[in-house]
Amino acid sequence: MRIAVLGAGAVGLSIAARLSCIADVVAVARERSAGAVRKDGFFLTGLWGDDRYDLAVTTRLDAGEEFDYVFITAKSVDTAAVCREFSPVLANADVVSLQNGIGNEEIIAGFTDRVIGGMIITGFEWRRPNTVHVSVEGGPMKLGRFPAGMDPSVEALVDLVRRAGIPVERTASIRTEIWGKTMYNCALNALGALMNVPYGRLSEPHAWTIIESIVREVYGVAHAGGVPLAWPDPASYLAFLASTQLPNTAGHHSSMLQDLARGRKTEIDFLNGAIAAIGAQHGVPVPVNTCIADLIHFRESLSEG
């Protein structure tokens, strides 16, 4: 089994490392990480175990290379550019999106009709250019044919990921899972970045009031767009968020906070910004998600200045 992982940052390198135990894996990463891994190996610590991996890492692939599966783990803002750069590689493989937000699978579908959606709600933190710590886990990875369904290729991938020691489940409703994770990120990611606090602090009543409004708006947009969510109503999801997801990821710092600190463009347009855009398409008012997206764009503009 040959697997490529494109846009391999903390998430991609960690997944590539685990998969390399049972498959022929190559990760495409930035030179800073690729050089460090080639020199000293890749180190993974935390919930997925503490180990060193002799991982094959490069900064490019030859157009003629063929793979059974290609994972895209790049930031959502880079999805289109990654697909354009590696379009010959995508043409003959099942392409798996393991990314944040709404819209990545649709972008990938412009380059191949063999799209597998993925959802992962695990915390990956850089410790060094060749070291990642798996800090928190909000549940198993979910994989399914996008936008819906199940087939032998997906089943084989789920089995492969499970044998690599990564918690994973199959689903015939991956779009529902992706929207579920997006709702989690809309509730916590940008707000944690704006407030510069770990997720656990967002249970404070004033923050929680904002989260309640964000979640209600997501439900309104999902209903207008015909997207079924896993919880029947906002109150049901908020109860799950408060009792399970927030405690499981209480110590996690927002990936958006890390992007802002490094002066990088965030994924806000695939999260709260996507809810704002889809809401506008369907005539559904989403003032809180729109405000959150505008605040993050303002923070981005300060870095540009």
**From CA 51, how far away is CA 116, in angstroms rounded?**
29
pLDDT digits (tens, 9 = 90+) for 125-161: 899 999 999 988 878 999 999 999 999 999 999 999 9
Say whether both 158 and 72 belong to one domain.
yes
Report pLDDT for 96: 98
CATH number at residue 251: 1.10.1040.10
Say whether both 112 and 187 belong to one domain.
no
**From CA 53, how far away is CA 29, in angstroms rounded?**
15
Say whether both 167 and 182 belong to one domain.
no
Say whether both 43 and 129 belong to one domain.
yes
Which of 171, 193, 219 finishes a domain?
A: 171
Report pLDDT for 305: 57
| Model confidence, pTM | 0.93
Q: What residue numbers bound the domain in which 18 lies?
A: 2-171
Which of 145, 171, 197 finishes a domain?
A: 171
Sheet holding 24-28, edge to edge: 56-58, 24-28, 2-6, 69-72, 94-97, 115-119, 141-145, 168-170
Average pLDDT taken over every residue of the chain: 96
Report pLDDT for 183: 97
Say whether both 187 and 155 belong to one domain.
no
93 near 66, Cβ under 8 Å? yes
From the CB of residue 9, how many other CB atoms can be counted at a distance below 10 Å? 20
**From CA 109, how far away is CA 75, in angstroms rounded?**
17
222 near 179, Cβ under 8 Å? yes
CATH number at residue 45: 3.40.50.720
Which of 112, 147, 171 finishes a domain?
A: 171
Say whether both 154 and 222 belong to one domain.
no
pLDDT digits (tens, 9 = 90+) for 204-236: 999 999 999 999 999 999 999 999 999 999 999
Report pLDDT for 135: 87
**From CA 199, how far away is CA 65, in angstroms rounded?**
41
SS3 track for the chain: CEEEEECCCHHHHHHHHHHCCCCEEEEECCHHHHHHHHHHCEEEEECCCCEEECCEEECCCCCCCCCCEEEECCCHHHHHHHHHHCHHHHCCCEEEECCCCCCHHHHHCCCCCCEEEEECCEEEEEEECCEEEEEEECCCEEEEECCCCCCHHHHHHHHHHHHCCCCEEECCCHHHHHHHHHHHHHHHHHHHHHHCCCHHHHHCHHHHHHHHHHHHHHHHHHHHCCCCCCCCCHHHHHHHHHHHHHHHCCCCCCHHHHHHHCCCCCCHHHCHHHHHHHHHHHCCCCHHHHHHHHHHHHHHHHHHC
Say whether both 193 and 101 belong to one domain.
no
In the predicted model, residues of the chain with pLDDT beneath 70 are: 305
Report pLDDT for 94: 98
